[in-house]
């Protein structure tokens, strides 16, 4: 009976004291939501979205490039040993990083999956692994090229008040103030003293 099927399923699922089936079902649903797994899929959840497939393909190419350029080198890498990796894999890494940034922007607007939140955990973990390899293991990160202009502008702004006060001091006319004492009639205290003498 269709009207009783829901109650039947509920009684079967919750028949044991621990309710293992319900607990596991809730755990997997919460994990799916927390990991934003739906953001890697198409709207109808038929398979991976085109952007996710493209990203994973570039990710695999980057790892392959890293491995290919490390063959024959010592496992422990000093900062100077990895110039070959940095030079040969720079283009692949840059494409992967640009694609990840565009996926983040697109995902904030809803993306292919129709869910607006973080990217799915597979894409975020893949990018974290690649960035860690690129910057820490291979030491391929380059300092920001905007550092010099930022320091120059900051120094200019900091010295503006000093320049202002110096210029105002040098260009203003310095006049010595001469205090002119007013000529007044002597105070009446002298007259009082004279009167006291005579009285």
Q: Grade residue 1 by pLDDT with cuts at 50, 70 and 90.
A: very low
Lowest mean pLDDT among 41-50, 136-145, 177-186: 177-186
Spatial separation of the C-alpha atoms in residues 13 and 118, rounded to whole Å: 33
**Is residue 184, in this structure, part of any structural domain at all?**
no
Whether residue 113 contacts residue 40, with contact meaning beta carbons closer than 8 Å, is answered with yes
Q: Is there a domain that residue 69 lies in?
A: yes
Crossing angle for the helix pair 90-108 and 50-70, nearest 10 degrees?
A: 160
Has residue 187 been placed in a domain? Answer: no
pLDDT at residue number 72: 56
Give the separation between CA 55 and CA 106, rounded to whole angstroms. Answer: 13
Q: Determine the distance from the C-alpha atom of residue 153 to the mean position of all C-alpha atoms in its chain, rounded to a whole number.
A: 22
* DSSP letter assigned to residue 113: T
What is the percentage of the chain residues whose pLDDT exceeds 70? Answer: 71
pLDDT of residue 56: 95
pLDDT for 104-127, tens place per residue? 988 777 655 445 568 999 999 999
pTM (predicted TM-score): 0.60
In a domain, 181, yes or no: no
Total domains present in the chain? 1
Give the number of C-alpha atoms closer than 13 A to the C-alpha of residue 96, restricted to the C-beta side: 24
Residue 51: φ, ψ to 5°: -65, -35
Domain that holds residue 38: 8-137
Tell whether 179 is covered by a domain.
Answer: no
Answer yes or no: is 88 within a domain: yes
- What gap in Å lies between CA 20 and CA 142, rounded to an integer? 52
Residue 99, SS3? Answer: helix
Q: 131-171: per-residue pLDDT in tens? A: 999 998 888 876 666 777 888 888 889 988 998 888 887 77
Residue 132 domain flag: yes
pLDDT digits (tens, 9 = 90+) for 79-101: 555 678 898 999 999 999 999 99
């Amino acid at each position: 009976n269709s009207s009783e099927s829901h109650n039947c399923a509920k009684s079967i699922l919750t028949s044991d004291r621990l309710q293992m089936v319900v607990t596991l079902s809730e755990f997997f649903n919460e994990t799916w939501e927390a990991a934003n797994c739906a953001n890697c899929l198409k709207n109808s959840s038929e398979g991976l979205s085109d952007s996710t497939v493209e990203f994973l393909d570039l990710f695999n190419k980057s790892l392959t490039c890293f491995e290919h350029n490390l063959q024959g080198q010592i496992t422990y890498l000093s900062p100077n040993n990895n110039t070959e990796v940095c030079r040969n894999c720079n283009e692949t890494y840059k494409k992967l990083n640009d694609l990840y940034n565009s996926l983040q922007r697109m995902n904030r607007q809803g993306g292919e999956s129709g869910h607006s939140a973080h990217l799915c955990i597979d894409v975020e973990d893949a990018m974290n692994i690649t960035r860690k390899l690129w910057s820490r293991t291979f030491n391929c990160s380059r300092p920001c090229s905007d550092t010099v202009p930022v320091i120059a502008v900051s120094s200019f702004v900091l010295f503006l008040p000093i320049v202002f006060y110096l210029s105002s001091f040098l260009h203003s006319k310095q006049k010595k103030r001469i205090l002119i004492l007013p000529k007044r009639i002597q105070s009446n205290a002298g007259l009082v003293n004279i009167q006291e003498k005579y009285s």
